Amino acid sequence: MIKGYRVAIVGATGLVGQEFIKVLEQHNFPVTSIRLLTSDRSAGKKLFVNQQEIKVEETAPESFQEIDIALFSAGTEVSRHFSPIAAQSGAVVIDNSSAFRMVAEVPLVVPEVNPEDIKQHRGIIANPNCSTIQLVVALYPLHKVNPIKRIIVDTYQAVSGTGSAAVDELTVQVRQVLEGQATIPHVYPHQIAFNLLPEIDVFLDNGYTKEEWKLVEETRKIMHAEDIAISATCVRAPVFTGHSEAIHVEFSQPMSPEEARHILAQTPGVRILDDPAISLYPQAWSAVGSDEVLIGRIRRDTSHPHGLAMWVVADNLRKGAALNAVQIAREMIKRNWLHPRAKNEKIRTITDSYGNPL
């Protein structure tokens, strides 16, 4: 008999929160009860889960009593405040924000890459950035065969990665441009309709954006490869859903496109779409709703004898967020690593990289 679990979704009314609900239903996750949590602004709304109408509650410290798994998608500040509370209450937290990703004591997990890291959790597990997830799913199987020395990646990221307000802004701006009206950006610093913005998150002192630096640090942590040289340029694209990446990778030894295709074709969670003769390659719109990371245009990088280039696309709300978190929960259950603690059991204080409590 399959055991059921008591699940809470924090940020249930957001784009990722709603994707959590879809993924749990579509993957028949063993849920015995579900609690939908949100901010005070959205509390009181009703959402359907498995054909049952459930009222959304305001997130509070007592919300996590008798919860086994807490899925967080409500932003960094909410995660920083409520994740330790949820863990202290006995739940295992899988957090989709950037709050804990680079904290040494918190596993940062993509189940196809580093499932063994889950075992080290102390109540909180971090879900990586959406663009990082598809990057490591595509590259790690190749890295295991032929260690990677250098990665150059340019991302073209959908507006849904910013949230529903950005989706609305793109919709409005497209209509305004087509009707010859001026646009007034609110979510982004410039017009996003019919445009590309090489600015995601804030700029750092080194000239990179925070989003670009996440790709660098998270990839190294997940792949346990601190020596890989990585450079990223992250671009916001006028696409609703589906992140695309142009990847150039340098291996320790030469690798042919045919060998790479053969390895990736056997990799769980990957689908190869690669036939230039019929214009077959991954596209953002076709990735929507897919559990898989789509890979195509695998070819030699003519700038380096050990290099390959490829094009990688994934649904940023699904594999880039909700699905990956649910897969982490599945892996915990399969390996008997869930280990919910008794309420109020002491857990070690989680600190940031400077030793400050979170």
Q: What is the Cα 295 distance to its own chain's centre? A: 17
Is residue 197 domain-shared with residue 56, that is, in the same domain?
Answer: no
Reduced to 3 states (helix: H, G, I; strand: E, B; else coil), residue 133 is: helix
Is residue 291 domain-shared with residue 169, that is, in the same domain?
Answer: yes
Q: Residue 236 sits in a domain of what CATH number?
A: 3.30.360.10
Closest CA to 155 of 235, 222, 88, 217: 235
Is residue 153 domain-shared with residue 288, that is, in the same domain?
Answer: yes
Looking at residue 346, what is its pLDDT? 45
**The whole model's pTM is what?**
0.93
- 298 vs 40: which has the higher pLDDT: 298
Average pLDDT over residues 149-154: 98
Is residue 147 domain-shared with residue 210, that is, in the same domain?
Answer: yes
Residue 188 lies in a domain: yes
Looking at residue 41, what is its pLDDT? 83
Residue 156 lies in a domain: yes
In the chain the first and final C-alpha atoms are separated, in Å, by 39
Residue 288 lies in a domain: yes
Average pLDDT over residues 234-258: 98
Is residue 191 domain-shared with residue 289, that is, in the same domain?
Answer: yes
Other beta carbons within 10 angstroms of residue 333's beta carbon come to 17
Is residue 106 domain-shared with residue 166, that is, in the same domain?
Answer: no
The domain tally of the chain equals 2
Average pLDDT over residues 263-279: 97
The DSSP bridge partners found for residue 9 are 36, 71
On whether the CB atoms of residues 230 and 131 are closer than 8 A, the answer is no
Instruction: Tell me the residue range of the domain where 111 lies.
Output: 5-128+320-334
Structure token pair of residue 245: 């990446």
Annotated catalytic residues are: 130, 243
Answer yes or no: is pLDDT of 351 > 50.
Answer: no
Q: Residue 118 sits in a domain of what CATH number?
A: 3.40.50.720
Q: What is the Cα 336 distance to its own chain's centre? A: 24
Residue 149 lies in a domain: yes
Residue 98 lies in a domain: yes
Answer yes or no: is pLDDT of 230 > 60.
Answer: yes
Please write the tens of the pLDDT for every residue from 160-177: 999 999 999 999 999 999
Is residue 119 domain-shared with residue 260, that is, in the same domain?
Answer: no
Closest CA to 153 of 346, 309, 8: 309
Answer yes or no: is pLDDT of 350 > 60.
Answer: no
Is residue 281 domain-shared with residue 292, that is, in the same domain?
Answer: yes
Is residue 70 domain-shared with residue 123, that is, in the same domain?
Answer: yes
Reduced to 3 states (helix: H, G, I; strand: E, B; else coil), residue 231 is: strand
Looking at residue 43, what is its pLDDT? 87
Cα–Cα distance for residue pair 22/323, rounded to 1 Å: 9
Residue 351 lies in a domain: no
Answer yes or no: is pLDDT of 2 > 70.
Answer: no
Cα–Cα distance for residue pair 317/301, rounded to 1 Å: 30
Q: Binning pLDDT at 50, 70 and 90, where does residue 42 land?
A: confident
Is residue 124 domain-shared with residue 106, that is, in the same domain?
Answer: yes
Reduced to 3 states (helix: H, G, I; strand: E, B; else coil), residue 31 is: strand
Average pLDDT over residues 306-331: 98
Please write the tens of the pLDDT for every residue from 100-146: 999 999 999 999 999 999 999 999 999 999 999 999 999 999 999 99
Tally the C-alpha atoms within 13 A of residue 83's C-alpha that lie toward its C-beta. Answer: 31
Answer yes or no: is pLDDT of 344 > 90.
Answer: no
Q: Binning pLDDT at 50, 70 and 90, where does residue 339 land?
A: low
Residue 354 lies in a domain: no
